[in-house]
A and B are shown apart, each in its own frame.
Chain A
Amino acid sequence: MQANSSFHQLKAGLDEGKFTCVDIVNHYLKNIHQKNDELNAFLTIYEQEALDRAAEIDTKIANKSAGKLAGLVVGLKDVLCYQDHPLNCGSKILDDFHSQFSATCVERLLAEDAIIIGRNNCDEFAMGSSCENSAFGPVKNADNTSRVPGGSSGGSAVAVQSDMCTISLGTDTGGSVRQPASFCNVIGLKPTYSRISRHGLAAYASTFDTIGIFSNSIEDAALILETIAGEDEHDSTVSTEKVPEFSRMLAFDGKVKVAYLKETLESPALNEEVKEAVVSIGEKLKAEGHQVDEVSFPLMEYALPTYYILTTAEASSNLSRYDGVKYGFRIDKPRNLESMYKKTRTQGFGHEVFRRIMLGTFVLSASYHDAYYIKAQKVRRLIKNQLEELFKEYDFVLLPTAPSTAFELGAKTSDPMEMYLADLFTVQASVAGAPAISIPIAKDSDGMSIGLQVMTKVFAEDKLLAFSKYLLEAK
């Protein structure tokens, strides 16, 4: 078995009888055993379970009754529910909590005979850009263990990067799939908001939270997306938009119109090497006869504040349920109800979660509600409209996924504002609900991966995936 195989490669091997599902699981388990102590990408490994299931699926393959994902091995970010398995959301506050049901996306993977191999570490409640906010210790970048993997789905990114599973599911609220994908040299897809059911996704910011996919190939991302997307009786907010067979729509043909955003390329935060890599892709496209223009997106500077106001507002409410009453962590012998709440939450939540709950509570409070929350809602609408206008003219927007490549562990932990800038280029798609993908296009002088972000209009993942495949092949 080749390292970092795509599912298509694995499937070919299975079809030819070169190896079995048990072999595949053993291959990943070996890597996990070798590397996970240092990388900390997995919080729990479902070793025996995965092996047993692999054996069952091998039988199914022999009987020709296996689902279309037979042989696919998956890692799940620790905010996705898997029945009878632990769920911590990277936090101390859930303690020994186990989910009593599986997320819809997990159900759909299992129904097609995917194998879940374990639970991936992440920033607490998906809040963070470096995976240093987990109560279970930081995750390290496999390309250089002194560097961060990005966040919040850092564990899921590293799991694919270091060949511990075929694909992994993360969640992307403001860049939490795309940014770690960019840091870890893998593909990270954030589909359109509402494409995939949020049932079984422990909420951070409900109007932004989107389940995303880490993979080694565009084909895999397309196949997983078409499997898990679409209407769900458990989630009334899922789009009723038809889910096409993305994996059969990857042929790219013809000429397209592509826009660079002036505000991103001229951003003082943008690293020079990253900028060059992105610009050189544009040059190549031009050379191949595509139209590439630099356009202005005047509202760009408002995307990050809009994102932080609205997500913290929603988070302050979404995280109210962790109160020590019904499940999870509760302090010993509280004096009274108020002290139980205060101490449980103070001891149970980490600093970043604390900060965002406080911010969110503030922006929703009666005296500031209009000035912050309502204003940000209006700006969100404007950003959405401006992006829609842009996509009337252009097929795709190209921008760096992150201002820099993976930074050193601890480099930004003391300054939250500096850390928030890591999401500078990803929040735009999140605020607008648009689909976006990060694909690895180059390495910097330190050998760290540079990700290119491609964004398109809502529900156009078919075109996004086909174009990304073309870009990867052309690079």
Chain B
Amino acid sequence: MITKEERAKYDVVVGLEVHAQLMTESKIFSGDGNAFGSQPNTNISTISLGHPGVMPKLNKKAVELAIRMGLACNCKITRFGYFDRKNYFYPDLPKGYQMTQDKTPICVGGYVPIQGVKSQDKVTLNRIHLEEDAGKSIHVDGQPDSLIDLNRAGVPLIEIVTEPEIFSSEAAGAFLTEVRRLVRYLNVCDGNMEEGSLRCDANVSVKLKGETKLGKKVEVKNMNSIKNVMKAIDHEVQRQIHLLEKGESIVSETRTFNPDTGRTSGMRTKEELNDYRYFPEPDLSPLQVSDEWLEDIRSNMPELPSEMKERFKEQYGLNEYDASSMTDQRDLAYFFDAICGITGNYKKAANWLMGPIKSYINEHDMTFSNFPIQPAALASIIALIDEGKISYTAASQQLLPYLFENPLEDAADAAHKLNIWQESDSGSIQSIVDEILASNEDKVKQYRNGKKGLIGMFMGELMKKSKGKVDPQMANKLLRESLDAQ
């Protein structure tokens, strides 16, 4: 391992290549379905299989999603372009070439702002291009044959390529977090790294501080979470500095990350320089993006997280912190927005989502997308509390868990059923107050002599007697009035 001093001598330079599978109904060049988890080799046709005589047909929706992402990342949109063939042999690549955009990526340049990293506040992009995914090769240990599943062959991808201008694993993590948030907000990709719909390769190099020339880069693959990308970069930085400090040099190679050990290792396949023999795809007409089409895509863009945050501040009066929290995840933001369409108590809605609901979701390993309770139900809980019909404690500890199990039940009905509907009728509370005062004459005297702290004891008695079903504010008010009335 390297020492702190050794580490401090070097700068880290990272470039990321992020592949995102686009959420289209069909594949990029055929009408075959695009769904994760289907039986192997069911989403295929003569086009996906590369039969002789087939011709590709470009899926417009895939182009639109790529442009959407490009607009969100401040890229320049290429108005006239074409696809290229990237030639190589692999059993899960049916045509023996991948159709991609080498020379004319659909989006050029741009940047993604990142948060929470001191050293940089944005990551510059080189490009975003469209391409088709390959199928999957399945190697079963001990089996001589490999299995091929071509369901994924031809699934539309965008590849987001950054400039080598990410200077720490934290910045890489923040960038990926933001990219994932963007693709989800834009309905471009589901952002699921574990299922592989969002994938990331990292090009990592180190150089002595002050050195302008980039060091030799190592490409690291096979990281299925943002955390693992960060770990892989950290490990790779350590490994490279260690080698350099020993006087050895870095080999430009592709390495694979092992999540179990947290280490990278050289890929077993011999690392030949692959010559992809790119040339323009002759089976597709050039891709032209007209003014009208671009305008149409722009005007149908879903709200960006930054836009939504500003709107929440303005429309619902949220402070910076609350507005950030509410737009942290797409599904949460839409849920919050929906509640606010019903309730007028925006602040409380935010508190509920950040408090009891978030803890419940975390405990139960859920997400807002499969959250069972409807925004309207939550709005009515907030209303019931505001009206003093139920207490916050009873609502969060009893009503909420109950509604998770019975999401279709009316909140007020459920409160009655749970017996947490509280007395707010001043007459009936007053009688309990009178009762308590009568049976605690000495304490009443002490209070009236100045021992005001006893109010807590009286409150406790009151709650006990009423089994917690009184509106605490009302009870407190009546109690004080009776005690203070000499």
Contact residues of A with B, CB < 8 Å?
A: 79-81, 87, 89, 94, 97, 99-101, 103, 197-203, 206-207, 233-237, 313-314, 316-317, 319-321, 323, 325-327, 337, 341, 361, 364-366, 369, 373
Query: B309 at the A/B interface (Cβ < 8 Å)?
Result: no
Tell me how far the C-beta of A17 lies from the nearest C-beta in chain B, rounded to whole angstroms.
39
Chain A residues with CB under 8 Å of B330's CB are none
Chain A residues with CB under 8 Å of B57's CB are 233-234, 236
> Given A323-B89, A366-B275, A373-B279 in contact, is the A101-B285 Cβ separation under 8 Å?
no
Chain B residues with CB under 8 Å of A317's CB are 85, 87, 96-97, 277, 279
| B283 with A326: CB separation less than 8 A | no
| A314 with B282: CB separation less than 8 A | yes
Q: Which of B135-189 contact A (CB under 8 A)?
A: 146, 148
| B279 with A313: CB separation less than 8 A | yes
Contact of B97 among A201, A234, A320, A361 (CB under 8 A): A320
Tell me the complex Cα distance, A81–B51, Å: 10
Chain A residues with CB under 8 Å of B95's CB are 320-321
Chain B residues with CB under 8 Å of A200's CB are 53
| A320 with B87: CB separation less than 8 A | yes
| A369 with B277: CB separation less than 8 A | yes
Query: B418 at the A/B interface (Cβ < 8 Å)?
Result: no
Tell me how far the C-beta of A270 lies from the nearest C-beta in chain B, rounded to whole angstroms.
32
Chain A residues with CB under 8 Å of B94's CB are 321, 325-326
Chain B residues with CB under 8 Å of A320's CB are 87, 89, 95-97
Query: B325 at the A/B interface (Cβ < 8 Å)?
Result: no
Tell me the complex Cα distance, A326–B135, Å: 12
Chain B residues with CB under 8 Å of A203's CB are 52-53, 283
Tell me the complex Cα distance, A80–B52, Å: 9
Tell me the complex Cα distance, A235–B284, Å: 8
> Given A81-B53, A234-B55, A326-B49 in contact, is the A321-B96 Cβ separation under 8 Å?
yes
Tell me how far the C-beta of B424 lies from the nearest C-beta in chain A, rounded to whole angstroms.
69
Query: B258 at the A/B interface (Cβ < 8 Å)?
Result: no
- A-B pairs, top 5 by smallest CB distance, nearest first, are A320-B96, A206-B282, A202-B52, A364-B277, A321-B50
Contact of B277 among A89, A199, A319, A365 (CB under 8 A): A365
| B52 with A101: CB separation less than 8 A | no
| B282 with A100: CB separation less than 8 A | no
| B53 with A103: CB separation less than 8 A | yes
Chain B residues with CB under 8 Å of A321's CB are 50, 52, 94-96
Query: B58 at the A/B interface (Cβ < 8 Å)?
Result: yes
| A236 with B52: CB separation less than 8 A | no
Tell me the complex Cα distance, A144–B431, Å: 124
Query: B249 at the A/B interface (Cβ < 8 Å)?
Result: no
Chain B residues with CB under 8 Å of A314's CB are 279, 282
| A237 with B282: CB separation less than 8 A | yes
Total of A-B residue pairs, C-beta within 8 Å: 96
Chain B residues with CB under 8 Å of A201's CB are 53
Query: B46 at the A/B interface (Cβ < 8 Å)?
Result: yes
Tell me the complex Cα distance, A327–B50, Å: 10
> Given A321-B95, A321-B96 in contact, is the A364-B87 Cβ separation under 8 Å?
yes
Q: Looking across the interface, which residue of chain B has its beta carbon closest to that of A80?
A: B53
| B283 with A206: CB separation less than 8 A | yes
| B46 with A101: CB separation less than 8 A | yes
Tell me the complex Cα distance, A233–B285, Å: 12
Main SS of chain B's interface residues? Answer: loop
Tell me the complex Cα distance, A80–B53, Å: 8
| A327 with B91: CB separation less than 8 A | no
Q: Which of B34-60 contact A (CB under 8 A)?
A: 46, 49-58
A314, A325, A365: most-surrounded residue (chain B CB, <10 A): A325
Tell me how far the C-beta of B467 lies from the nearest C-beta in chain A, rounded to whole angstroms.
72
Q: Looking across the interface, which residue of chain B has its beta carbon closest to that of A336?
A: B144
Tell me the complex Cα distance, A341–B89, Å: 9
| B279 with A364: CB separation less than 8 A | yes
Could you write out 26 A-B pairs with CB less than 8 Å apart? A87-B52, A99-B52, A99-B53, A100-B46, A103-B53, A198-B55, A199-B54, A199-B55, A201-B53, A202-B53, A233-B57, A234-B55, A236-B56, A236-B58, A317-B85, A320-B87, A321-B52, A323-B89, A325-B91, A326-B49, A326-B50, A326-B94, A327-B49, A337-B91, A341-B89, A365-B275
> Given A320-B89, A326-B94, A364-B87 in contact, is the A199-B53 Cβ separation under 8 Å?
yes
| 5 extra interface residue pairs, beta carbon distance < 8 Å, beyond A317-B85, A361-B277 | A237-B55, A317-B279, A320-B95, A326-B50, A337-B91
Chain A residues with CB under 8 Å of B278's CB are 364
A81, A99, A101, A326: most-surrounded residue (chain B CB, <10 A): A326
Tell me the complex Cα distance, A323–B275, Å: 18
Tell me how far the C-beta of A200 lies from the nearest C-beta in chain B, rounded to whole angstroms.
4
| B279 with A207: CB separation less than 8 A | no
Q: Looking across the interface, which residue of chain B has its beta carbon closest to that of A235?
A: B55
B53, B85, B95: most-surrounded residue (chain A CB, <10 A): B53
Q: Which of B267-284 contact A (CB under 8 A)?
A: 275, 277-279, 282-284
Chain B residues with CB under 8 Å of A325's CB are 91, 94, 148
Tell me how far the C-beta of B466 lies from the nearest C-beta in chain A, rounded to whole angstroms.
74
Tell me how far the C-beta of A16 lies from the nearest C-beta in chain B, rounded to whole angstroms.
39
Q: Which of B64-105 contact A (CB under 8 A)?
A: 85, 87, 89, 91, 94-97
Chain A residues with CB under 8 Å of B284's CB are 236-237
Chain B residues with CB under 8 Å of A327's CB are 49, 51
Chain A residues with CB under 8 Å of B89's CB are 320, 323, 341
> Given A236-B58, A341-B89, A361-B277 in contact, is the A89-B282 Cβ separation under 8 Å?
no
Tell me the complex Cα distance, A87–B278, Å: 29
Chain B residues with CB under 8 Å of A326's CB are 49-50, 94
Tell me the complex Cα distance, A325–B153, Å: 14
Tell me how far the C-beta of B398 lies from the nearest C-beta in chain A, rounded to whole angstroms.
60
Chain B residues with CB under 8 Å of A202's CB are 52-53
Q: Looking across the interface, which residue of chain B has its beta carbon closest to that of A362?
A: B277
Tell me how far the C-beta of A379 lies from the nearest C-beta in chain B, rounded to whole angstroms.
16
Tell me how far the C-beta of A323 lies from the nearest C-beta in chain B, rounded to whole angstroms.
6
Chain B residues with CB under 8 Å of A81's CB are 52-53
Tell me the complex Cα distance, A365–B46, Å: 29
Tell me the complex Cα distance, A364–B278, Å: 7
| B51 with A100: CB separation less than 8 A | yes
Chain B residues with CB under 8 Å of A199's CB are 53-55
Tell me the complex Cα distance, A320–B51, Å: 11
Chain A residues with CB under 8 Å of B148's CB are 325
| B52 with A237: CB separation less than 8 A | no
